[in-house]
Amino acid sequence: MTQRTNGFGTAPVFFTAISTILGAILFLRFGYAVGTLGALGVFLILLMGHLVTIPTAFAISEIATNQRVEGGGEYFIISRSFGLNIGGTIGIALFLSQAISVAFYVIAFTEAFEPFFNWVYNRFDILLPRQVISLPAMAILALLILRKGANLGVKALYIVVAILFFSLFLFFMGKTPYAETAAAGITESPLRNMDNFFLVFAIVFPAFTGMTAGVGLSGDLKNPGKSIPIGTVAATFTGLIVYIFIIIKLVRSASPEQLLNNQLIMGDIALWGKPLILVGLAASTISSALGSIMVAPRTLQALGNDKTFPFRRFNILMAKGKSITNEPYNASVITILIAFIFVALGDVDAVARIISMFFMVTYGSLCLISFLNHFGASPEYRPTFRSHWILSLIGFVFSVFLMLKMDTLYAIISIVAMIILYIYISNYHKSRKGLESIFRSALFQINRNLQVYLQKNQSIKKKASWHPSAICVTEAKSDRDNAFRLLTWISEKYGFGTYIQYIQDYYSHSAHDKAKDALDLLIERAESRKSNVYVDTIVSPSYTSAIAQIIQLPGVSGLDNNLILFEYDKKNPKNLQQIVDNYALVRSGNYDVCILGGSNRGVNYNEGIHIWVRRVDYENLNLMVLLSYIILGHPDWKGAKIKIFNVRKEGQHDEATNQLMELVETGRLPISLKNVEFIDINDNMNLKTIINEKSVKAGLTMVGFRSEQLKHEGDKLFLGYEEMGDILFVNAFRDMTIE
């Protein structure tokens, strides 16, 4: 990991984060929280809040030591892990949150001038709007950033953080009459008003956030891999320790009534009184505003660099930096304009609630990235700072949980807004793929563990209900797809299909390349059809050797393959004989066998599926019915019906007829008697002729066959159906039960 010749060190990361953590909420709302819930209640808030912030701080530190974190901070990490479309969605929300946060902190800054507003009101009876202070303060802050950039911002940050810590020191040194006369302490401040717990949590939680603020300076750091972990983790734990002591100090120094009714209670507690605490409040809020106004433009600049927005000129302007330090001047202008709008409005409470939601989405995403990297166990993930996957999972789960508990309505609004934004960005950037390698590694681990588990637990396979796990081997090129289409129907909802293209050759480097090219075409076909079929190729010197290899393959679904599908062209059945020759080989593997006679005409879905049942192959009935039901689950067959033709000798009820009637009458088939037609034949009638007449328009026709028939008739068994559509010959290896 190379270092930059210029840039900031670790201190700006720490000070940007800690100044945001110890911000306006600390001075204005922490007394209210302690007064409402008691010390133990606020300690519980502290615990729950840090179940998000600590895992997030660790996750950022971990990722920053595994990959080069460039400009954009959190956005860069998320977009390079989840892909540019999801990253852009979260990045835009993150930027808006950071930009509006500037306004939030500037408005909070005006609370430090409460004595001035009270004096004007009492002396002149004039109720001044807060904008009298907030707008000039925003203008000075904007001028500072636009003229001097982050360098002066960081120098100013050092000063205001020093003031902030000095104010806190005075607070801890202060004494009150309550502390001297009352037996105050944590044990005397029990839990109370817990029905308001999450309301208070929503008010207080932003105090713990901000630990990621320093990450936004990543593009300006000399060594992000070192500065981000040290600065972020140090700020997180420093903030936690400070808050613990502040809770103890508040409980011991003021009564619950005083804490509830005086938002500037810290000023009454502090040594030398309220003025210096007001200075501390001003320092904390302006430092938080400084941190946000430095970070937000860098997020926007990174979004512009990645061409996230649908306006080419806007992307160029936002990506453009100023001077040798690449200062995001244009992005700063946009950030300042947004901040000015909300400062002028003067009340960002409702917006602040959505801001909290977007921050929680960001924190949850960072924890999820860390968890998936741990779970995926990719050799490429080798951070020098390591968190634990349980910690990352806890951070992600609590981010989602707390979003919903703080404000369900705003959580839903935020999620819906993110979804709409993602759809828009994905539609604009159609060429950008999705979730990159991070999910591939996780899916690999899930699949690996599942396969091993299923293999070790054979009882699962024995007890499991039957699902077709069909495997098809074909020499057909991409211009014929009857078998592929059938597998697509089977694997849509209930089954699993594997389509293997056989390449006749001896395995060699050239044969391997040929197979890879063929596989690429198959994958393109599967994607274009939105098919759930798994595709592959096999190189073998003969068709028989290819079949022998394929029937020994483990099931890709985790369960054994149980059905093999062959295909031949009815107009030119040149490969039909080799299918017949390999039938016995396939049966030795206990497979159900389906042989598809493909036509060159389209599928007439409206005519449904026709099933032909005869006395000699009644054992195939259940398999044909189950396959038909599974096929009709595909959207192509919406509204189609199954029709069964029962062929019997005149006036006789044979075993196939009895079985069929029982299934229909007991309601175990998705058909009624009106869809069953009984056909009586005699020795002078030709069954193939009847099938051709009755099913000439069918979308798919199924006909059962037995091993004895195949031995007797050979390939002639499958000929004579040239005028029909696709016809599937079915041979069940085992008795199939329809429950």
Q: Among candidates 365, 402, 409, which has minimal Cα distance to 83?
A: 365
Task: Write out the DSSP string of 442-487.
Answer: HHHHHHHHHHHHHHH-HHHHHHSPP--EEEEEE---TT--HHHHHH
Q: How confident is the model at residue 362 (pLDDT cuts 50, 70, 90)?
A: confident
CA pair distance 493, 511, nearest whole angstrom: 35
**Number of domains the chain is built from:** 3
Alpha carbon distances (Å) from 567 to 9, 599, 602, 626, 703: 67, 11, 16, 20, 15
Q: How confident is the model at residue 668 (pLDDT cuts 50, 70, 90)?
A: low
Q: Among candidates 458, 451, 501, 456, which has minimal Cα distance to 477?
A: 501
* Three-class SS state of 535: strand
Q: Which of 119-133, 223-237, 262-276 has the lowest mean pLDDT?
A: 262-276
Say yes or no: 374 and 416 in one domain: yes
CA pair distance 312, 159, nearest whole angstrom: 40
pLDDT of residue 264: 79
Per-residue burial over 481-520, b = 16 or more CB atoms within 10 Å of its CB, e = otherwise: bbbbbbbbbbbbebbbbbbbbbbeeeeeeebeeebeebbe
CA pair distance 386, 382, nearest whole angstrom: 9
Residue 91 covered by a domain: yes
Say yes or no: 383 and 487 in one domain: no
Say yes or no: 91 and 21 in one domain: yes
Q: Which residue has the tokens 């892990």?
A: 81
pLDDT of residue 182: 56
Contact call for residues 359 and 98 (beta carbons, < 8 A) = no
- Checking if the pLDDT of 113 tops 60, the result is yes
Say yes or no: 226 and 350 in one domain: yes
Say yes or no: 579 and 644 in one domain: no
Alpha carbon distances (Å) from 157 to 216, 233, 403: 15, 19, 31
- Checking if the pLDDT of 382 tops 50, the result is yes
Residue 349 covered by a domain: yes
Q: Which residue has the tokens 């930059």?
A: 4
CA pair distance 612, 717, nearest whole angstrom: 15
- DSSP run (H or E) holding 649: strand 642-649
Tell me what the pLDDT averaged over the chain comes to: 81
pLDDT of residue 54: 92
Amino acid at site 650:
E
Residue 451 covered by a domain: no
Q: Which residue has the higher pLDDT, 602 or 596?
A: 596
CATH number of the CATH domain containing 171: 1.20.1740.10
Crossing angle of helices 349-376 and 84-109, rounded to 10°: 140
- Checking if the pLDDT of 125 tops 80, the result is yes
pLDDT of residue 105: 84
Asked whether the CA dihedral 50, 56, 61, 66 is positive or negative, the reply is positive
Q: Choose one of 554, 580, 596: the last residue of a domain.
A: 596
- Checking if the pLDDT of 3 tops 50, the result is no
Say yes or no: 339 and 381 in one domain: yes
pLDDT of residue 395: 92
Crossing angle of helices 74-82 and 274-305, rounded to 10°: 40
Alpha carbon distances (Å) from 212 to 215, 251, 609: 5, 29, 60
- Checking if the pLDDT of 726 tops 90, the result is yes
- Checking if the pLDDT of 359 tops 60, the result is yes
Residues in Cβ contact with 406 at an 8 Å cutoff, skipping those fewer than 6 apart: 198, 201, 202, 205, 353, 356, 357
Q: Among candidates 70, 517, 21, which has minimal Cα distance to 299?
A: 70
pLDDT of residue 565: 93
pLDDT of residue 691: 92
pLDDT of residue 17: 82
- Checking if the pLDDT of 1 tops 50, the result is no
Residue 42 covered by a domain: yes
- Checking if the pLDDT of 184 tops 60, the result is no
Say yes or no: 465 and 399 in one domain: no
Residue 450 covered by a domain: no
* Three-class SS state of 382: coil
pLDDT of residue 437: 53
Q: How confident is the model at residue 71 (pLDDT cuts 50, 70, 90)?
A: low
Q: How confident is the model at residue 451 (pLDDT cuts 50, 70, 90)?
A: low
Residue 453 covered by a domain: no
Say yes or no: 111 and 246 in one domain: yes
* Three-class SS state of 529: coil
Contact call for residues 367 and 59 (beta carbons, < 8 A) = yes
- Checking if the pLDDT of 5 tops 50, the result is no
- Checking if the pLDDT of 461 tops 60, the result is no
Give the burial class of 679: count Cβ atoms within 10 A of its Cβ; 0-12 exposed, 13-18 middle, 19 or more buried.
Answer: middle
Q: Which of 257-261, 511-515, 518-522, 528-532 has the lowest mean pLDDT?
A: 528-532
Say yes or no: 96 and 191 in one domain: yes
Residues in Cβ contact with 282 at an 8 Å cutoff, skipping those fewer than 6 apart: 109, 112
Say yes or no: 516 and 605 in one domain: no
Residue 437 covered by a domain: no
The proportion of the chain whose per-residue pLDDT surpasses 70, expressed as a percent, equals 83
Amino acid at site 269:
I
CA pair distance 428, 425, nearest whole angstrom: 5
Residue 443 covered by a domain: no
CA pair distance 592, 731, nearest whole angstrom: 6
CATH number of the CATH domain containing 706: 3.40.50
Say yes or no: 350 and 363 in one domain: yes
Q: Among candidates 339, 438, 262, 385, which has minimal Cα distance to 102?
A: 339
pLDDT of residue 737: 61
Q: Which of 51-55, 100-104, 351-355, 715-719 has the lowest mean pLDDT?
A: 351-355
Contact call for residues 647 and 612 (beta carbons, < 8 A) = yes
In Å, the largest CA–CA distance within the chain is: 118
Domain that holds residue 533: 458-596
- Checking if the pLDDT of 340 tops 50, the result is yes
Q: Which residue has the higher pLDDT, 581 or 649?
A: 581
Contact call for residues 493 and 468 (beta carbons, < 8 A) = no
DSSP state of 8: B
Indicate the pTM of the whole model. Answer: 0.64
Contact call for residues 290 and 19 (beta carbons, < 8 A) = yes
Say yes or no: 358 and 339 in one domain: yes
- Checking if the pLDDT of 549 tops 60, the result is yes
